[in-house]
């Protein structure tokens, strides 16, 4: 976890298509991306190369929040997503880059995430903890098969 970078690896019991959709659908992102205790409001999300997004995380206990946004740098449907993140708070300077790889495997999808350029004021272990919580929520979203009523 050197150089303000986190790297995560999971195998999820879901197809790459379903996981890719969870990363590119605003309602899905609002559901799984915020760590426990936070709500997410997606203000805009234009999922295309060069497209932008903006969202806010709100601490449910205090009502305080922070907004951030970025640009989609590269999209390969069901295989790869690369985007930037930049906080609107001037106390959290810099631009992060997040890369997401999806690889079909026998039991679902191998998921690899690398986030680089995390602002130095954010402890890397807290970022890692937040991602672990988010990925736990992602698994609960994509691994279930709920039939239509």
Q: What is the pLDDT of residue 92?
A: 84
Q: Looking at the domain assignment, is residue 147 inside a domain? A: no
Q: What is the pLDDT of residue 148?
A: 80
Q: Looking at the domain assignment, is residue 134 inside a domain? A: yes
Q: Looking at the domain assignment, is residue 77 inside a domain? A: yes
CATH code (residue 53): 3.30.530.20
Which pLDDT band holds residue 55 (cuts at 50, 70, 90)?
very high
- pTM for the whole structure: 0.92
User: Looking at the 3D structure of the chain, how many domains does it have?
Assistant: 1
Q: What is the pLDDT of residue 2?
A: 43
Query: Beta partners for 71?
Result: 52
Q: What is the pLDDT of residue 54?
A: 98
- Full residue range of the structural domain in which residue 84 is found: 6-142
As a whole number of angstroms, the distance between CA 78 and CA 74 comes to 12
Predicted confidence (pLDDT) per residue in 19-33, tens digit? 999 999 999 999 999
As a whole number of angstroms, the distance between CA 53 and CA 83 comes to 10
Sign of the torsion angle spanned by Cα atoms 28, 9, 95, 63: positive
């Amino acid at each position: 976890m050197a150089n303000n970078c986190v790297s995560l690896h999971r195998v999820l019991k879901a197809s790459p298509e379903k996981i890719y959709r969870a990363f590119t659908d605003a309602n899905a992102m609002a559901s799984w991306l915020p760590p426990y205790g936070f709500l997410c409001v997606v203000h805009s999300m234009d999922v295309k190369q060069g497209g932008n997004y903006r969202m806010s995380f709100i601490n449910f206990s205090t009502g305080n929040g922070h907004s951030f946004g970025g640009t989609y740098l590269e999209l390969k449907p069901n295989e790869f997503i690369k985007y930037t993140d930049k906080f609107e708070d001037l106390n959290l300077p810099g631009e992060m880059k997040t890369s997401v790889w999806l690889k079909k495997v026998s039991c679902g999808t191998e998921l690899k995430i690398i986030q680089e350029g995390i602002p130095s004021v954010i402890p890397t272990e807290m970022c890692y903890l937040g991602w672990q919580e988010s990925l736990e929520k992602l698994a609960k979203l994509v691994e279930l098969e709920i039939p239509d009523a």
